[in-house]
Amino acid sequence: MVVTIITKVREAPMSITPIQSSDTMLQSLAEIQEYEKVPLSQRYPWESTFDLIRQSARLYQHDSAIEFLPTAAPDEDTVKVSFSELSQRVHQTANLLHSIGVEPTDTVTLLLPNLPETHFALWGGQAAGITSPINPLLEPEHIIEIMNTTRAKVLVTLGQDLSEEIWDKVTQILEQVPTLKTLLLISKKPISNTPVPAGIHANNFVSAISQQPDDHLKSERYIQGNETASYFHTGGTTGRPKIARLTHSNIAFVAQLSADTSSSKGRFATLSGLPLFHIFGTVVAGIGTLLAGRTIVIMTPSGFRSPNVLPNWWHHVARFQVKGFAAVPTILGVLMQIPVGDNDISCLTDIGCGASTLPTGLKNAFEEKFNVLVSNGYGMTESSCLLARPPTDMQAPEGSVGRRLPYMEMKIAEVDGTRLVRTCNTGEVGIVLARGPHIFSGYLSEEDNAKAWVDKSWFNTGDMGYLDGDGNLFLTGRAKDLIIRGGHNIDPALIEEPLSRHPAVAIAVAVGQPDAYAGEVPVAYVTLFPSTNPPTEEQLIDYCRSQISERAAIPKRVEIIDEIPLTAVAKVFKPALRNRATEYVVGQALEEKSITAKFSAHFDASLGQVAKVQLEQASSKADVEEALENLPVALEFE
């Protein structure tokens, strides 16, 4: 639901003028170094996300900032929000939050799908306090843990009439987050009948902000760049969450850089299916897109998960004359299989891809099929989305994610815990370290911070890679994803990249499978492109033998599956595949001993891979323990 409240905008004059560089493509390391000769404060003067929203309203006024498609059905009418209206709603949201007691260090939690109101709450919340956008698909206990860690004071979410699923979680949250004082609901029904615990005040978000001034901050707050703008939860969907603190200047830097270095592409509409609780959807595909004067077409509240979005994607590309959009590799793999039909998508020129490594075969196939340029950047929550990117309108060397951003430092190094041992040579693989104006100010937990920094100033990305002579970064894998076979470290990329080049393979993922002798052995899971003559699993193993030079890296088995498990932001979720591999080897061991039992696998931070076994007869417990005793797997019995 969206309610557009149109009032006259009165923006304060803004005297600072950033240095424009639309003719600079940053196509070499030398160009980046030349670009850096202009001081950062002159190049990118805006220090806060609030500055960016006001600046975009001043520049683009009544043009469409957001167009919302509730269902993404073909030719569905959009709900439009202009740049001026967006700025007004942000002012009103900030003023509402200030009026209910939100201070700059207070947390405003957003448990919302993709809506225009999500933008109002996200940027308005940062003008009043600190926003904490949370994935609504997380389990209630996980959401509660994040909210208690951030000491949430306000929750902005959907009313029961708009989402029973979210409301079921909200009812549990209200009872278990003692710092929560206000519930702001996006709802079509009166809030007066909403049952809430004593001490919590409920209000309708849309009607409440409509009563607030839209052209100034009642708090008269001047936002400093080093103040915290947002908390982002990171670290997967299980276990204790890591909460990353991003400052206003962190986000403002990346947004200004993204808008500036892509300004040669001009203004256009872009389809958005990325969630606004994720750093990619929020920064580069969010406020960076708005600052560039481009229209964000929100593809339903559920984004890429909506049943209408991908089947109708090419229709909407043609309808809105989309020049480019942001996606993740798994989404490109799905789009490869969706016919363009009679839609004219000649307007489409380039795709920005991120969140995980883009297989070379998929990139080449997508570019050839749709006649577009696909660029794969590199970044993470802790870097405010970006660390490296290819030059504008140019291909990076094959396998590279491009060069470092301007005004930052990047180092490939050998590290020992939090100590830098030495800097790696050109072409030598090591850990990717980074520091710069976009690197977050740390985690909320000092336990997490203790492991995050090398020599107290370099952020340890946990990624492995190397630099070539012109500063191009090549990622080789995650340090924690290494498969350790009998003490031999195997980079999953050694398996995934060759398998992804097989013409029948859409996506390939390699993980370690528990093994009684080697500790772990590599296995691979693949999805295939539609074919009348698909390869068998044995044929794919034979292919690996011919393509993988490192004998220890040849997968013990290759399993063809219908779909790769993904996180809520469509990144490959390797823990699910490790669990699947564990279940396979446990099943094999029990079958060899003719033991019948139900079992499942999960990961425990203290125990590692755990097999949970449900016995039909208690007397067979000893048999199970004997059958599995040599596997590096902890046992739990029901």
| pLDDT of 238 over the 60 cut | no
Q: Within the chain, how many helices (H) and strands (E) appear?
A: 19, 30
Lowest mean pLDDT among 90-94, 408-412, 481-485: 481-485
What band does 129 get if pLDDT is binned at 50, 70 and 90? Answer: very high
Q: How far apart, in whole angstroms, are the C-alpha atoms of residue 473 and residue 107?
A: 36
The predicted model gives 404-414 an average pLDDT of: 95
Task: Indicate the domain borders of the chain.
Answer: 401-478, 482-569, 575-637
Tokens representing 526 are: 């693949």
Of 434, 404, 65, nearest in space to 261 by CA: 404
Q: How far apart, in whole angstroms, are the C-alpha atoms of residue 433 and residue 455?
A: 11
What band does 628 get if pLDDT is binned at 50, 70 and 90? Answer: confident
What band does 284 get if pLDDT is binned at 50, 70 and 90? Answer: very high
Q: What is the mean pLDDT of the chain?
A: 88
Residues 482-569: name the CATH superfamily.
ANL, C-terminal domain (3.30.300.30)
| pLDDT of 10 over the 50 cut | no
Q: How far apart, in whole angstroms, are the C-alpha atoms of residue 255 and residue 198?
A: 41
Q: How far apart, in whole angstroms, are the C-alpha atoms of residue 170 and residue 166?
A: 6
Coil/strand/helix, residue 624: helix
What band does 400 get if pLDDT is binned at 50, 70 and 90? Answer: confident
Convert the pLDDT of each residue in 453-466 to its tens digit: 999 999 999 888 89
pLDDT at 2: 39
Residues 401-478: name the CATH superfamily.
Luciferase; Domain 3 (2.30.38.10)
Convert the pLDDT of each residue in 49-76 to its tens digit: 999 999 999 999 999 999 999 999 998 9
| pLDDT of 258 over the 70 cut | yes
| pLDDT of 3 over the 60 cut | no
What's the 3-state SS for 487-537? CEEECCHHHHHHHHHCCCEEEEEEEEEEECCCEEEEEEEEEECCCCCCCCH
Q: How far apart, in whole angstroms, are the C-alpha atoms of residue 474 and residue 378?
A: 10
More confident residue, 429 or 154: 154
Q: How far is CA 340 from the centre of its chain?
A: 27
| pLDDT of 98 over the 90 cut | yes
Neighbours of 371 (CB within 10 A): 11
Coil/strand/helix, residue 604: strand
pLDDT at 18: 56
Question: What is the maximum alpha-carbon separation in the chain?
Answer: 80
Coil/strand/helix, residue 637: strand
Residue 221 contacts residue 229 (beta carbons within 8 Å): no
Which residue pairs from 57-64 have beta carbons closer than 8 angstroms and sit at least 24 positions apart in sequence? 57/9, 57/11, 57/83, 57/84, 57/86, 57/87, 58/11, 58/14, 59/83, 59/293, 60/293, 61/9, 63/293, 63/295, 64/269, 64/295
The HSE-up count of residue 610 (CA atoms within 13 Å, CB side) is 12
The predicted model gives 421-426 an average pLDDT of: 94
Lowest mean pLDDT among 1-5, 113-117, 172-176: 1-5
| pLDDT of 11 over the 80 cut | no
pLDDT at 217: 97
pLDDT at 8: 30
Q: How far apart, in whole angstroms, are the C-alpha atoms of residue 534 and residue 522?
A: 23
Place of tokens 């830098």: 420
Lowest mean pLDDT among 37-46, 151-160, 338-347, 393-402: 393-402
pLDDT at 13: 38
What band does 597 get if pLDDT is binned at 50, 70 and 90? Answer: confident
Q: How far is CA 316 from the centre of its chain?
A: 23
Coil/strand/helix, residue 441: coil
Residue 432 contacts residue 475 (beta carbons within 8 Å): yes
pLDDT at 14: 47
Residue 537 contacts residue 544 (beta carbons within 8 Å): no
- Give the gyration radius of the chain's Cα atoms: 25
Strand 107-111 versus strand 130-133 pairing type: parallel
